[in-house]
A and B are shown apart, each in its own frame.
Chain A
Amino acid sequence: CALHVICCNAGQFFSSGHTNNWAVLVCTSRFWFNYRHVANTLSVYRSVKRLGIPDSHIVLMLADDMACNHRNPKPATVFSHKNMELNVYGDDVEVDYRGYEVTVENFLRVLTGRLPPSTPRSKRLLSDDRSNILIYLTGHGGNGFLKFQDSEEISNVELADAFEQMWQKRRYNELLFIIDTCQGASMYERFYSPNIMALASSQVGEDSLSHQPDLAIGVHLMDRYTFYMLEFLEDIHPASKTNMNDLFKVCPKSQCVSTPGHRTDLFLRDPGSVLITDFFGSVRKVELTMDAINLTDPIKQMEENPVNGEEQKEVYSYADQLPVSEIIHQKPKQKDWHPPDGFILGLWTLILLVFFKTYGIKHLKHIF
């Protein structure tokens, strides 16, 4: 019957090797004129959420607040297209690291998992060895480094070492690294861990350019590479079969002015067989079972002590908000304990007595 058909097709569900998807999206620039970097990150966030990755699996780091910035003529919005067509900020955004929290140290700690024990779950990258992770960085960069908030940099060697730590701790199955900065290709030159695919918006020696300014907002809204990547991703839906080779073709030199680059030598599978939704979407695997499951007994409620029965202890009352007389007569806090004044005197008397007991009274004249 119908049950058999579904049973046989279960095998095709487990072909790609990953069981969950994570995304780490970082914008590293501060100040209003770097509006476009926040818009870049938010457009990737929007695509990733739309294709199925939930907020609990996305670590979003924005170094400055553009939406509620006082210079923003339309508060609580971040636009990616001029004439304010697409608000990528949306209505249910959850930013995990914001403002001063976006530092090189926090970024590396998120990647490697070495966070203080009291860090909440939404700020952690809880990936395992069956996770596919998408890492997107944008900001200002140079040959071999990426600038964080105009005060510190991360070098390509540090990044490569962080990925190696992740590999050794089995924190990813496959990793897709996208960077949209000037000279972005220099950031993936030093990778040496397996299963990493990298894309950059420009080669070494080239600058990534921004797209269009909006006259009402007054700044450039997006960078070219991410703009065309967003257009490409808007056509992807959770069941589409587009593969990575199409993503490599996004933004040719005619549109981008810089030459986007990619690196696939560390990746085991052929890029043509890797679906876009393997990294940008979150395809849930469903495990079918034909067994019946016994539900456990419902928890028996404990007999609540009836309130009216026993004699209650005392009547509660609200505290006095400004008890003036109580405050005035509040005892001062205990000062640090000082030994009493007579103590030192007594101590010296004791020492003298012991001295004279042992050595005799004739030494007294040497003292006085």
Chain B
Amino acid sequence: ILSATVDAAADTQGTSAPETVVPSSVPQPKDDFQEELVIRPLHSGDIYASFQFRTLWDTDFMRENKVSHYRLFPKSLGQVISKFSVRELHISFTQGYWRTMQWGQPFIPSPPGAELWVWFQDSVTDVDATWKELTNVLSGIFCASLNFIDSTNTVQPSASFKPLGIGNVTDHSFLRYATLPREIVCTENLTPWKKLLPCGSKAGLAVLLKSEKLFHSSFHSQAVHIRSVCQDWQCKTTSWELRQTVNSVFDLHNSGQAKREWSLFKMFSRTLTEACPLASSSKLYIDITDNPQQFELSPATSLLSQAVVLGDRRTFSVYDLTQETTFGSVRSLNLLIRWKSNEGEMLRPLLHAERYVAGYGLQTGEIHTLMYNNHPYRSFPVLLLDSVPWYLRLYIHTLSVTSKGKDNKPSYIHYEPSKDRVKPHLLEMLIQLPPNSVTEVTVQFERALLKWTEYPPDPNHGFYVGSSVISSLVPSTVAMDTNSTRERPLFSSFFPCKEESSYFVRIYTEPLLVNLPTPDFSMPYNVICLTCTVVAVGYGSLYNLLTRSFQIEEPNPGLAKRIANVIRKMRGVPPL
């Protein structure tokens, strides 16, 4: 009945008003969606899967009349960008810690917990208020407790975190950085993340993102990166780029298999059946650089591709999901990687870092950060960013940087002291790491006693200190590709490359877990009980002694005597 009504309406519409036909001559801003999955077998037997979904849109969010028609770009993020005048936004949720020495370098690094850093446009007048509103809105979009980000864990780095997108002006007063090391990532964060994709989780590579397998891994990180990029080689106009990434490392022994064999079904409990129809390119890359005779792929593919990524030239087998032939006669792609031999050395990562707390007791301690430069003859600079919460009072006069036993003076130090309950410590240092050495940065601290209402419900778990961020230009073994115009796979075009001899890398250390002196929360109850008991017993006894008068009481007579007393009362005679 309803459809009949609508048809009737359409008929009347068509005959009476011919000028309401939709004009089709003006083109809509172009948008483009690409998806790719890179699978890299690691030397420890684990396997690393990196998903990247990129949406490009040639539009201008900062224009006067608001953007109203969204196609591939998610509307919730578009509204966030225009309302809060965001220039760049990077948010990541991570479970687990990336082990650089066993796994190499990740394509997209991220620290444990949640991390958010945002560059605002020049037009924003009150950056702190906008930051606070932005964190609240993002906490609703991603179902995370990002509203705990406030001035006590936000810093404004002075040299790190330069914009990853287009930018000529870099005034660091428009940058804000915060981490929540305690933040958990679970299915409730993956669900809204998947809803931002154009095809959702229904078609394309996103069908593989099943939470039961993704969270049963050694490392899982999902991130959203929004920035402006060049539209073409002339770079006179920009377009907005949204990258959604998932990085996971699946453990060989955790998944309960004896021999070293991986397949898409074993990793994700799903296989690929089609590419996302809205994607212009949908590819699956397998890293076969490390000794191609070691493992065999089935179904085999003849497409090979080479890319320079992370300072090394890697060879990849490519499966193009937009071609029907990739799926074969069974109409599904279940890639199988079977190992035949186990030799081969991993390329030793040139830079990695560790951090730990030394000392004993609940009063003082020492934070040690170690940075390893494994290059045999080249030295390179690193920028270390440390954001320590206010309740660990750092003594900066004890800060020492030593390499190979000798003092190593940083060429740039920026320190912002903390203010109790207002802002954290910020320490940034530019250190030159000598070749083949370990650089140790130590600083002593004292633990503060919090007010008893400031403790979380489980204070004996401890308090987290966010990861240190180490940004560096590491020398590369092959010449990097500085030409940003050629069509490159997504995993090699995340960090912009300015010079050929080195590549930019960002490393996160472990977060620290420190115990603060914790009061015994049952003490108020104990004190009240004890005081009341003492008062009752002491004062009560004294009061009784002073005011009570004693009378002699006849003991209770036996049954016979009581009956006799009753009879005597009836007779009118005094009782016994």
Q: Do A and B come from one complex?
A: yes
CB distance from A73 to the nearest CB of B (A): 10
On whether the beta carbons of B27 and A75 are closer than 8 Å, the reply is no
Picked from A65, A294, A299, A307, the residue with its CB within 8 Å of the CB of B186 is A65
Q: Shortest CB–CB separation between residue B75 and chain A, in angstroms?
A: 14
Total interface residues on A, using CB and 8 Å? 67
B145-A312 in contact (CB<8A): no
Q: Give which listed residue, A31, A90, A312, A320, contacts B236 with CB less than 8 A.
A: A312
> Which residues of chain A are near B457, meaning CB under 8 Å?
30, 100, 149-151
Does B123 touch A at the CB level, under 8 Å?
A: no
A129 in the interface (beta carbon within 8 A) = no
Q: How far is the CB of B326 from chain A (nearest CB, A)?
A: 27
**A290/B5 contact (C-beta < 8 A), A75-B216, A91-B211, A94-B191 known:** yes
Min CB distance A9 to B, Å, is 11
A315 to chain B, nearest CB (A): 5
- The minimal Cβ–Cβ distance linking A269 to chain B, given in whole angstroms, is 32
A2 touches B (CB below 8 Å): yes
Which residues of A sit under 8 angstroms from B381, Cβ to Cβ?
322, 324
Contact A118-B26, Cβ < 8 Å, known A312-B236, A322-B383: no
B20–A76 contact, CB under 8 A?
no
Q: Which of A297-326 contact B (CB under 8 A)?
A: 297-304, 307, 312, 314-324
In the complex, are the beta carbons of B162 and A301 less than 8 A apart? no
Given contacts A294-B13, A318-B496, contact A31 B430 (CB under 8 A): no
Q: Does B280 contact A (CB under 8 A)?
A: no
Task: Say yes or no: A94-B504 contact (C-beta < 8 A), given A31-B458, A150-B457.
Answer: no
Instruction: List A contacts of B360 (CB < 8 A).
Output: none
Q: A304-B27, A320-B498 are in contact. Are A120 and B136 (CB under 8 A)?
A: yes
Whether B215 lies near A120 (C-beta < 8 A) is no
Measured CB to CB, the nearest residue on chain A to B495 is A321
Main secondary structure of the interface of A (DSSP, over half): loop
A95 within 8 Å of B by Cβ?
yes
Residues in chain A near residue B237, CB distance under 8 A: 307, 312
Contacts of A67 in B (CB 8 A): 186-187, 215
Contact residues of A between 248 and 297, Cβ < 8 Å to B: 288-290, 292-295, 297
Contacts known (A30-B457, A312-B236, A312-B237); A120 close to B137, Cβ less than 8 A: yes
A197 to B40, CA, bound (A): 58
Render A102-127 as a binary contact track against B, CB cut-off 8 A, 1 for contact. Answer: 00000000000000101111110000
Assess whether A301 is in contact with B238, with CB atoms less than 8 Å apart: no
The reply to whether B143 and A122 contact each other, CB–CB distance below 8 Å, is yes
Residue of A nearest to B383 (CB): A322
Is A304 touching B26 in the complex (CB atoms < 8 A)? yes
With known contacts A76-B212, A320-B498, A120–B484 Cβ distance under 8 A: no
User: Shortest CB–CB separation between residue A317 and chain B, in angstroms?
Assistant: 7
Known: A118-B133, A316-B230. A77 touches B456 (CB 8 A): no
Is A89 an interface position by the 8 A CB rule? yes
The distance in angstroms between the C-alpha atoms of A101 and B457, with both chains bound, is 11
User: Is B62 positioned at the interface, with any CB of A under 8 Å from its CB?
Assistant: no
Q: Which residue of B lies closest to A316 (CB)?
A: B166
Considering only residues 1-39 of chain B, those with a C-beta below 8 Å from chain A are 1-2, 5, 8-9, 12-13, 19-20, 22-23, 26-28
Q: Are B1 and A2 in contact (CB under 8 A)?
A: yes
Q: Quick check: B496 and A321 within 8 Å, CB to CB?
A: yes
Find out whether the CB atom of B188 lies under 8 angstroms from the CB atom of A315.
Answer: no
- Return the contact of B148 from the options A3, A100, A304 (Cβ within 8 A): A100
A318 B191 Cβ-Cβ under 8 A: no
Asked if B294 lies at the interface with its beta carbon under 8 angstroms from chain A, I say: no
The closest CB in chain A to the CB of B192 belongs to A94
B106 at the interface (CB under 8 A from A): no
Q: Is the CB of B187 within 8 A of A89?
A: yes
A121-B140, A292-B9 known; A317-B188 Cβ under 8 A:
no
Is there an interface contact between B5 and A292, defined as CB atoms closer than 8 Å?
yes
Q: Which residues of B contact A323 (CB under 8 A)?
A: 162
Interchain nearest-CB distance for A37 vs B (Å): 14
Query: In the complex, what's the smallest C-beta–C-beta distance from B28 to chain A, in angstroms?
Result: 8
Task: Mark interface residues in A189-232 (1 if CB within 8 Å of B CB, else 0).
Answer: 00000000000000000000000000000000000000000000
Known: A75-B216, A307-B236. 7 other contacts (CB 8 A): A68-B215, A76-B186, A122-B140, A319-B163, A320-B498, A322-B471, A327-B430
Which chain B residues have a beta carbon within 8 Å of chain A's beta carbons? 1-2, 5, 8-9, 12-13, 19-20, 22-23, 26-28, 65, 68, 95, 132-133, 136-137, 139-141, 143-145, 147-148, 158-159, 162-168, 170, 182, 184-188, 191-192, 210-212, 214-216, 230, 234-238, 381, 383, 411-412, 430, 456-458, 471-473, 484, 495-496, 498, 504, 521
10 pairs of residues in contact across A and B, judged by CB atoms under 8 Å:
A67-B215, A75-B212, A75-B216, A77-B212, A99-B182, A118-B137, A121-B140, A294-B13, A315-B236, A318-B484
Ranked nearest first, the 7 interchain pairs of A and B with the lowest CB-CB distance are: A120-B140, A318-B496, A68-B186, A292-B9, A149-B457, A312-B236, A118-B136
